[in-house]
Structure 1
Amino acid sequence: MTTPTLAGWLRCPSCAQPLEPLGELGLGCVNGHRFDVNRRGYVTLLGPREAVVGDSAAMLDARDRFLIGGHYAPISAMIDAVLRDALMPAEGRPERAIDLGCGTGHYLAGVVAQRPASSALAVDLSPAAVARTVRRFRGGSAVEPVVDGLVANTWRPLPIRDGAATLLLNVFAPRNPAEFHRILEPAGALLVVIPRPEHLQELRAAGRVLGIGDDKHSQLVASLDAFFELEESRPVEFVAELTAAQIDDLIGMGPSAHHRSADSTTAAVAVTAAVDVVLFRRRG
């Protein structure tokens, strides 16, 4: 991350004017609004009274352990396959990806690994998540992608420039259709991952994780239809043999962590993972 590359993604949350670098750790607009850049490589652009309630460090630690263990590797592989088959960047024009709900940066890492010349913006409501994702790409290699970080609320107008991205990544995360359309370039791609009804069904039957709404796929397509055209959808389903510790991490890395009973016990079990990897194209 450098302040100029970070500024290149962003617009002022107060007046929507482009943000420009101000020294090593500052951003500002022509109307005099100023913002500090964290030394860990990200900027926080939330509303004046907006509370930060995102993933905790403990949730991110659990997610890191679980994903690094390869337990969701088929999901990552399908994301990579869909994007490899669907995306053909213009000659000499690097891809610009935004991960909206970046978490630990695990899925973003797979996306940019296919495209070494790409740049990316990691967005999350959790400062700990954004800091972790940006740190993930600070290896010092000249061939590594430039990944900047933004703490922002996806439900609100995003402090991101119009048409800033060629690709939006949204994995198990909230969506803002109108804003996603605005920040994506014409004909850009939006990749969404959502759970299928069978996802974690063994844990759900035991009351260990939250329920999944009915017909999420149809609801997703309907919610995006005014702004995005469905291009393809690929299901992924597999069974993972998990230890008690791995199941604890699986429960603890997501929203069910907030509802977990302190005296709940865990045993090793086979758990079904089932998701849809859905690709959309921007309308207009």
Structure 2
Amino acid sequence: MNPAKIARFGDSERYFICPICHDALHLDGTSLRCADRHTFDIAKQGYVNLMPAAKQSPFYNKESFANRARILEAGYYDHIRDAVLDAIPSAADFAGPYSGERPAILDVGCGEGFYSRAVQRANPQVDVLAFDISKDSIQQAAREDTGMAVKWFVGNLADLPVRDGAIDCVLDVFSPINTAEFHRVMKDDAVVVKVVPGTHHDEQLRELAREQLRNTDYSNEHVIEQFCGHFDVLSMRTVSQTLAMPPADVRTFAHMTPLLFNADIDALDLTQISELTIEARIIVARK
């Protein structure tokens, strides 16, 4: 195995705890191991599975993440990625005394790693930890990480294998919130960057599939209200672009978006769509 794939976990005791006994994990050869000898091997792709019994949704499989990667690499979400990168420096203006230690950003539900890799490239002085419950997505994310710098792991949002107070900034892009776990792993002056789909997100597809959707109105205000009730909001902005999209990408997008997970996509006349609105709310808040 490439030594760099292992070296990124060299300071694991700073961040990781055993998902079984919650003791600190240390790098031992090509594995992470705790004092009770619970052992988690670093995979050849450069990630570690800290949730061995993870069961992923059938909607989130290799094909789903490959479709997501194609859409992301085509640039349709670049304006959201750029807004996230703009938020990170102000959000991660690490004010506390860190004794020379590298600040840490935790990407929650990172999927195929699009945002994690971008954040790490833009902030090489920061440790980026990124996890998802899906082993397929983490394998893909680690495989695409040519810089071999992000600490990729399979993990459970309900019981994060991360030390108390270890994280300076939590990044949550279109993923669920676990307030208790966020607060536990964040330092006292840490911040969180939360990205929520906007009101007009995917509105062309939603209109086309209206008869198949359970809820025709699309709002995430309840998610935002819940989030704002547990964090001190520093800023909030909406980023939105309506982009031309060729038929092949429309079909790929339709098979990728959670919006249509329970829809009969073959019954939709996707030729009616030639553009899609990609919109998100970017919220920066403090613990």
TM-score (norm 2): 0.85
| Aligned counterpart for 1:277 among listed residues 273, 279, 282 | 282
* Partners of 2:90 and 2:39 in 1: CA distance: 42
Contact 1:122 1:134 in 2 (8 A): no
Give SS of 2:22's match: coil
Taking structure 1 as reference, are residues 219 and 271 closer, same or farther at Cα in structure 2, changes over 3 Å only? same
Q: CA deviation at 1:78?
A: 1.3
Matched, 1:110 2:118: yes
| Aligned counterpart for 2:27 among listed residues 21, 24, 38 | 21
Give SS of 2:65's match: helix
Which residue number in structure 1 is paired with residue 246 of structure 2? 243
Q: CA deviation at 1:225?
A: 2.5
Q: Which ranges of structure 2 fall in alignment gaps of 5 or more residues?
A: none
Q: Give deviations 1:2-60, integer Å, cap 9, x for gaps.
A: 24244542101122111122222x22222332333322222222275x52337211111
Taking structure 1 as reference, are residues 5 and 252 closer, same or farther at Cα in structure 2, changes over 3 Å only? farther
Matched, 1:83 2:109: no
Taking structure 1 as reference, are residues 138 and 274 closer, same or farther at Cα in structure 2, changes over 3 Å only? closer
Which residue number in structure 1 is paired with residue 10 of structure 2? 4
Q: Give deviations 1:257-280, integer Å, cap 9, x for gaps.
A: 532425234214222222101111
Q: Which amino acid aligns with 2:161?
A: P
Contact 1:6 1:149 in 2 (8 A): no
* Partners of 1:138 and 1:5 in 2: CA distance: 20
Q: Which amino acid aligns with 1:74?
A: H
Taking structure 1 as reference, are residues 219 and 104 closer, same or farther at Cα in structure 2, changes over 3 Å only? closer
Q: How does 1:39-50 map onto structure 2 within 5 Å? A: 39-46=44-51, 48=53, 50=54
Which residue number in structure 1 is paired with residue 183 of structure 2? 181
The percent of aligned pairs where both chains have the same amino acid is: 26
* Partners of 1:121 and 1:130 in 2: CA distance: 12
Q: CA deviation at 1:181?
A: 1.1
Q: CA deviation at 1:234?
A: 0.6
Q: Which amino acid aligns with 1:58?
A: E
Contact 1:101 1:122 in 2 (8 A): yes
Contact 2:199 2:218 in 1 (8 A): yes
Q: Which ranges of structure 1 fall in alignment gaps of 5 or more residues?
A: 141-145
Q: Which amino acid aligns with 1:28?
A: R
Q: CA deviation at 1:124?
A: 0.3
Q: Give deviations 1:51-86, integer Å, cap 9, x for gaps.
A: 233721111111111111111111112112222344
| Aligned counterpart for 2:233 among listed residues 230, 234, 242 | 230
Give SS of 2:123's match: coil
Contact 1:177 1:224 in 2 (8 A): no
| Aligned counterpart for 1:101 among listed residues 95, 98, 109 | 109
* Partners of 1:87 and 1:9 in 2: CA distance: 17
Q: Give deviations 1:106-135, integer Å, cap 9, x for gaps.
A: 112222222112221110011121122222
| Aligned counterpart for 1:121 among listed residues 114, 117, 129 | 129
Contact 2:204 2:277 in 1 (8 A): yes
Taking structure 1 as reference, are residues 259 and 98 closer, same or farther at Cα in structure 2, changes over 3 Å only? same
Give SS of 1:259's match: coil
Give SS of 1:121's match: strand
Q: Which amino acid aligns with 1:195?
A: P
Q: Out of 176-185 and 108-117, give the one that drifted further.
A: 108-117
* Partners of 2:187 and 2:49 in 1: CA distance: 24
Contact 2:17 2:23 in 1 (8 A): yes
Q: CA deviation at 1:206?
A: 1.0
Which residue number in structure 1 is paired with residue 68 of structure 2? 63
Matched, 1:31 2:36: yes
Which residue number in structure 1 is paired with residue 257 of structure 2? 254
Q: Which amino acid aligns with 1:21?
A: L
Which residue number in structure 1 is paired with residue 224 of structure 2? 220
Taking structure 1 as reference, are residues 35 and 94 closer, same or farther at Cα in structure 2, changes over 3 Å only? closer
Q: Which amino acid aligns with 2:42?
A: V
Please provide the CA RMSD for this pair.
Answer: 2.5
Contact 2:92 2:168 in 1 (8 A): no
Taking structure 1 as reference, are residues 214 and 62 closer, same or farther at Cα in structure 2, changes over 3 Å only? closer
Count residues in correspondence: 273
Which residue number in structure 2 is paired with residue 143 of structure 1? none
* Partners of 2:88 and 2:227 in 1: CA distance: 22
Q: Which amino acid aligns with 1:97?
A: I
Q: CA deviation at 1:93?
A: 4.5
Q: Out of 78-87 and 126-135, give the one that drifted further.
A: 78-87
Which residue number in structure 1 is paired with residue 270 of structure 2? 266
